[in-house]
Structure 1
Amino acid sequence: MHPMVKPALRRGWRDLNTVQFGMTPAHALTLGPVDTATGSFLDLLNGTRGLALLREEGRRMDLPDGHVDTLVTRLARAGLLDDARGGGPPADALRGRKEALARLGPDLASLSLTTSGPGEAMGRLAARRRLRVQVRGAGRVGALLAALLSGAGVGEVDVRDDGRVEPGDVAPGGLPAEAVGERRDTAARRAARRAAAERPPRRAVGARGVAKPAGTAGPAGAAGEPGFSLVLLTPRDDVAVHAPAPSVAAPLVASGTPHLHAGVVEATGVVGPLVLPGETGCAGCLHEGRRERDPVWPRLVAQWQSGKSRHVRACDLTLATTVAGLAAAHALAFLDGGLPSTAGARWETSLPTLQWHARPVRAHSACPCGAAEKGKAEHTSMEGESHETMAGLRSPTEPCRTAGTPRPAGTWRAHV
């Protein structure tokens, strides 16, 4: 282990004997009392030295025997330390790709703040390279979402849509102006590839002669095609955003493929639900719940679907970009092993106030997905971080995360 205090955490002295790591309440921790020698020793925790050399440095600074190991252990348990060489062989392979790692450096720094174990952040970033996701719908939301996931290190991002790129599809970070007239899915895939920090890992040949990325798991597709860790449904049709047809996602539910809905309808952005088949509410549950609350709901949906479509659907550029960004963040949170708040809920915001609201999508007994039978909250559990309190690890006066703060964790994990 080559320990280093997480570089993403700003450090400051609250007084002569107390150090604060981090600025925001979600991540800040304090260490104290800290004597002068220990404060100087903290500067040596920069990832360039192993524990043996750190012990030598500690003796040279007249620190008590065992002090270095105690300090390193408890800082690590508090989530303040990273390992400059941790993460396993996949992380070592990523470190060898200097240009790609330089591009992904800010993402790695962010991951270090949402993980606790030394080397865990690099391990998760390296794991993204082995993931396979699909985006269905390549309008202003879908094309940008695909580029964001690819740029964040997801190894393979497939995009599916029909038709050709229209002038109204062009958006910064998504489909460029020169793509107008091209096949929509082809142009979106190209945009995703251009956003990637590196070429996706070479795909191995499966038992049926179908290439697949090393480590891909999950439900298999047609002709032995490997399954997706996550499918993102981003239709350009505003009716499909507001009232997603259960039949569209039914094959995903049947195959057990996690999927996330997102899009823009009129002047409202929607992200969610993230559907974990058999665990959380799906499009069918959403439809049944709405019909239960409003008996005329099916009649309205039928009219919206059969009515003559307007020439240009409303899709504000900045709202579409906001939706794509939030959907990408929720997708990455899931792919990295977390359980974002879109699991069983839709987040909605409307122009011009842009206040986000969570709309629960509860599992419905009339829906054949089976989530209602599973019971509540089986996919969420609370696991505490069993941190010891150092003579000194405590919360500062401002609200900060303290050692032992529980974090949610789910039984669902992205297939790697």
Structure 2
Amino acid sequence: MHPMVKPALRRAWRDRQTVQFGMTSAHAVTVGPVDTATGSFLGLLDGTRGLPLLREEARAMGLPDGRVDDLVERLTAAGLIDDATAGGAQADALRGRADVFDRLRPDLASLSVVHREPGGGARRLAARRAMRVQVRGAGRVGATVASVLAAAGVGRVEVLDGGCTERWDVAPGGLGAESVGGRRDVAARQLVRRAAPGRLPRAAESAGAAGDTGRGEPALSLVIVAPRDGTAAYAPDPVTAEPWLRSGTPHLYAGVVEATGVVGPLVLPGGSACAGCMALGRADRDPGWPRMLAQWRSGRGGPVPGCDIGLAASVAGLAAAHALSFLDGELPATTGVRWEVSMPLLDWRQEHMAPHRDCSCGAGGQTEGECASAAREPQDTMAG
């Protein structure tokens, strides 16, 4: 083990004997009492030394035997210690590629704060390389989501869309002006390659790590439905979702329609509300909704979507962050919930999407897993 105090947590002394790691209430921890020698020793916990060398240096500083092990144990229990060598073979391989690893250092720092156990951040970051995500839509929202996921280290990001890039598809972080007039799917693939940190893993490499589908490629970890016409995200089509429900593929909706952005719900097949549940629930509340929706789907949309660039960027960023949280093993706040925001006030609000008892997906008879997050005050831990 090469212990290091998590570098993303800012350090400050509250008083002469109490040090606080972390600024925000979500992750801050106070440590005390800390004497002068122990305070100096904390600077040696930078991941460059193993425990034997740390014990030798502690003795040279006058610290009693056993202090190093006790201190590391207490700091680890408080979620403050990472291990610069932990995370398994995939993490070691990632560290061996300096070009890729250096690009992802901020992501690793963030993951190390979120996941308390030593090596937890490196393990999750390395696991992303074997994952396959499909983004359905290459407009202002979908293309940006795809580029963010690729930049975050997701190994296989596929973008499905048809037609040619229009001038209004261009967006910062998404398709560039040079792609106008060319095929959207080709431009999206080029975007993903440019955004990725280093060479993308080959399909065979990813398949071996994430589970082969029988066609030499890993199974889909997640589908993100981000259509250029945000109607299909605001009121998703149950028929389109049927293959994902049958295969058990999680899917997340995101888009902008009529100056309103939506992120979610994240659908866990059989465990949370699906597109069919949402359609049945809306029809229960508004009997005229199915008739109107059929007209909107069959009619020609406007030539240019009402998709403000700032709103599109916000929706894409939030959708990508929730997708990454899910890929890293969490249940983000979009699980069974849709977050919605409208211009000009831009106040995010949430709507719980309840499974419908009449939907064939089966979620109506299950107990949904709920994810709740709450800010916590800085913890107190005695470290010396």
- TM-score using structure 1 length: 0.88
The equivalent residue for 1:192 is 192
Letter in 1 for 2:318: L
1:12 touches 1:19 (CA, 8 Å); kept in 2? yes
Deviations 1:141-175 (A, max 9, x none): 00110000000000010111111101110111110
Deviations 1:58-102 (A, max 9, x none): 222221221111110110111101101111111111111111111
1: CA distance between counterparts of 2:114 and 2:206?
30
Asked if residue 359 in structure 1 is aligned to residue 371 in structure 2, the reply is: no
Letter in 2 for 1:402: Q
1: CA distance between counterparts of 2:14 and 2:287?
60
2: CA distance between counterparts of 1:363 and 1:35?
56
Match of residue 360, structure 2, among 344, 368, 389: 368
How far is the alpha carbon of 1:189 from its aligned partner? Answer: 1.3
1:135 touches 1:146 (CA, 8 Å); kept in 2? yes
The equivalent residue for 1:255 is 247
The equivalent residue for 2:203 is 203
2: CA distance between counterparts of 1:305 and 1:30?
56
Letter in 1 for 2:47: G
Unaligned stretches of 5+ residues in structure 2 = none
Asked if residue 402 in structure 1 is aligned to residue 372 in structure 2, the reply is: no
Match of residue 272, structure 2, among 280, 298, 304: 280
The equivalent residue for 1:142 is 142
1:11 touches 1:21 (CA, 8 Å); kept in 2? yes
2:250 touches 2:269 (CA, 8 Å); kept in 1? yes
Match of residue 217, structure 1, among 211, 218, 231: 211
Query: Secondary structure at the residue paired with 1:263?
Result: strand
2: CA distance between counterparts of 1:294 and 1:48?
63
1:132 touches 1:154 (CA, 8 Å); kept in 2? yes
How many residue pairs get aligned? The number is 379
How far is the alpha carbon of 1:178 from its aligned partner? Answer: 0.8
1: CA distance between counterparts of 2:216 and 2:59?
60
1: CA distance between counterparts of 2:59 and 2:230?
67
2: CA distance between counterparts of 1:117 and 1:43?
20
Superposition pairs of residues 48-127 of structure 1, within 5 angstroms: 48-127=48-127
Query: Secondary structure at the residue paired with 2:27?
Result: coil
Return closer, same or farther for 1:399/1:217 CA change in 2, 3 Å cut-off: closer
How far is the alpha carbon of 1:225 from its aligned partner? Answer: 5.0
Instruction: Report the identity percentage.
Output: 61
Query: Secondary structure at the residue paired with 2:209?
Result: coil
How far is the alpha carbon of 1:202 from its aligned partner? Answer: 2.4
The equivalent residue for 1:388 is none
Return closer, same or farther for 1:107/1:324 CA change in 2, 3 Å cut-off: same
2:267 touches 2:336 (CA, 8 Å); kept in 1? yes
Deviations 1:35-54 (A, max 9, x none): 11111110110111101111
The equivalent residue for 2:8 is 8
2: CA distance between counterparts of 1:308 and 1:160?
21
How far is the alpha carbon of 1:212 from its aligned partner? Answer: 5.4
2:31 touches 2:380 (CA, 8 Å); kept in 1? no
Letter in 2 for 1:216: A
How far is the alpha carbon of 1:226 from its aligned partner? Answer: 3.6
Asked if residue 241 in structure 1 is aligned to residue 218 in structure 2, the reply is: no
Superposition pairs of residues 240-389 of structure 1, within 5 angstroms: 240-375=232-367, 377=368, 379-380=369-370
How far is the alpha carbon of 1:309 from its aligned partner? Answer: 1.8
How far is the alpha carbon of 1:297 from its aligned partner? Answer: 1.0
2: CA distance between counterparts of 1:381 and 1:340?
6
2:336 touches 2:353 (CA, 8 Å); kept in 1? yes
Deviations 1:112-144 (A, max 9, x none): 110111111111111111111100111110011
Return closer, same or farther for 1:403/1:89 CA change in 2, 3 Å cut-off: farther
Unaligned stretches of 5+ residues in structure 1 = 205-210, 383-397, 405-416
Deviations 1:188-210 (A, max 9, x none): 11101100001112232xxxxxx
1:135 touches 1:157 (CA, 8 Å); kept in 2? yes
2: CA distance between counterparts of 1:102 and 1:227?
28
1:2 touches 1:84 (CA, 8 Å); kept in 2? yes
